Amino acid sequence: MSRQDPERISDEARHCASRASWSRGHLGRVIPRIMLLAAAAIWGSTYTISKSAMEVISPQWLLAIRTLVGALILWAICRNRLQSLRNPKVLLATVGVAVLYYVAFLAQMKGLTLISPGRSAFLSALYCVIIPIIQWVMRRRSPGLHHIVAAVLCLVGVGCVAGDAMTAGAGASILGDGLTIVCAFAFAAYFYALGTLSIATDAVVLTFVIFLVSGLLFLVGAICTEPFPMQIVRHQNAWVAVLYLVIAAVGAQILQNIGLASTSAMEASILLSTDTLFALAISMIWFGERPSGMAVIGFVFIFLAVLLAVTMNRHARQ
């Protein structure tokens, strides 16, 4: 094998790349953004549903069921379209993205057991401000002034949210906030990598591998660290919640991956970050969540930072 062979894109990968280009041309600019907004609405609803389900089933068992059943559904859809996985580089990159997905959701769900759904959603949205930092490190693309201002707004917002927990003396909330911020960093790396990989990889196949690999990691973690959720058999509502989360995860992930193939990681992040608004609204209705004044100020600062990080980036490209 020549030295150039490892760098050569396989025929299957070229086929997926051309299909992705076809999708970008035929979907236009509006439809992918509607897909991302729909994905955000679905993800936003899952915060409250997950919080409710975890009253009966522990985080990793919930995530294992959610992703492995989702992977089974996706395998039935894309089993004849797995050619791109014959490329070792594509497969290895996809597995790497799946590991980031595992870390992000594990930290988020562990944090969600300790804090409210709305609070979790706003802290998770910090990934939008972290993405420019990753681009700076990976591509040597210096952040603009608006990114710096957004980072400062984010720090103020997180300070308000964390200060609210410390003022209340809620140690569990502080730990939950910390885990959710770890989740935000993992999501930032995940979206950055996913945005690059989605361009040359079938979106459904990509989602299948992410669900399968992360699902196996969740299953191993659940078996090793959490009791088997026998009580779920007696709770019909828990099964309904798990079923919803499976369908939501598959649908939102496919919409998200297709949308990412047609938009930049930065633009996609602002649309996906609107899940915070959906999550807070649903949590206020379902759980009766009533954020304190300081927490609301923090949420506003965080959301302004997210909007600034992306809308100004869009104007800069135009």
Whether the CB-CB separation of 112 and 176 falls below 8 Å is answered with: yes
- Residue 16 belongs to a domain: no
Q: Give the CA count within 13 Å in the CB-facing half-sphere of 88.
A: 4
Closest CA to 143 of 128, 125, 155: 128
CA pair distance 294, 165, nearest whole angstrom: 10
Note whether residue 259 is domain-resident.
yes
Please check whether residue 4 lies inside any domain of the structure. Answer: no
CB distance 296 to 61 below 8 Å: no
Q: Within 13 Å and on the Cβ side, how many CA atoms surround 293?
A: 0
Match 């995940």 to its residue by tokens: 190
- pLDDT for res 218: 96
Residue 41, Cβ neighbours under 10 Å: how many?
17
Boundaries of domain holding 144 = 28-317
Tell me what pLDDT residue 9 has.
32
- Model pLDDT, residue 185: 93
Is residue 14 in some structural domain? no
Q: Are 189 and 197 in contact (CB under 8 A)?
A: no
22 lies in some domain: no
Q: Which residue has the tokens 């595992």?
A: 102
HSE value, Cβ hemisphere, 13 Å, CA-based, for 134: 20
Residue 20 lies in a domain: no
DSSP 25-66: HHHTTHHHHHHHHHHHHHHHHHHHHHHHHTTTS-HHHHHHHH
Q: Looking at residue 164, what is its pLDDT?
A: 59
User: Which is nearest to 27 in space by CA: 200, 260, 252, 190?
Assistant: 260
132: tokens are 């420019």
DSSP tag of 286: H
Show pLDDT as tens, one digit a residue, over the chain (318 residues).
Answer: 433 332 333 443 444 444 444 444 556 677 888 888 899 889 888 888 888 888 888 999 999 998 999 899 888 888 787 776 777 888 888 899 999 999 999 999 999 888 888 778 878 878 877 887 887 788 776 667 776 787 778 777 777 766 655 555 455 577 888 899 999 999 989 988 887 776 667 777 888 899 999 999 999 999 999 988 877 767 777 788 888 888 887 888 788 878 877 777 667 766 777 777 778 778 777 767 677 777 788 778 877 877 776 665 554 444
**Amino acid of residue 109:** M
Alpha carbons 153 and 157: distance in angstroms, whole number: 6
Which pLDDT value is given to residue 168? 52
Give the CA dihedral 280, 285, 291, 295, nearest 10 degrees.
10
What total number of domains does the chain contain?
1
8 Å CB contact between 194 and 134: no
**Cα dist from 231 to 59, 224, 235, 236, 239, whole Å:** 14, 18, 7, 10, 11
* pTM of full prediction above 0.75: no
Structure tokens at 127: 């990934």
Helices (H), the chain: 11-27, 30-53, 59-78, 88-112, 117-124, 127-139, 145-167, 171-197, 203-225, 236-261, 265-272, 275-286, 293-317
CB 157 within 8 A of CB 291: no
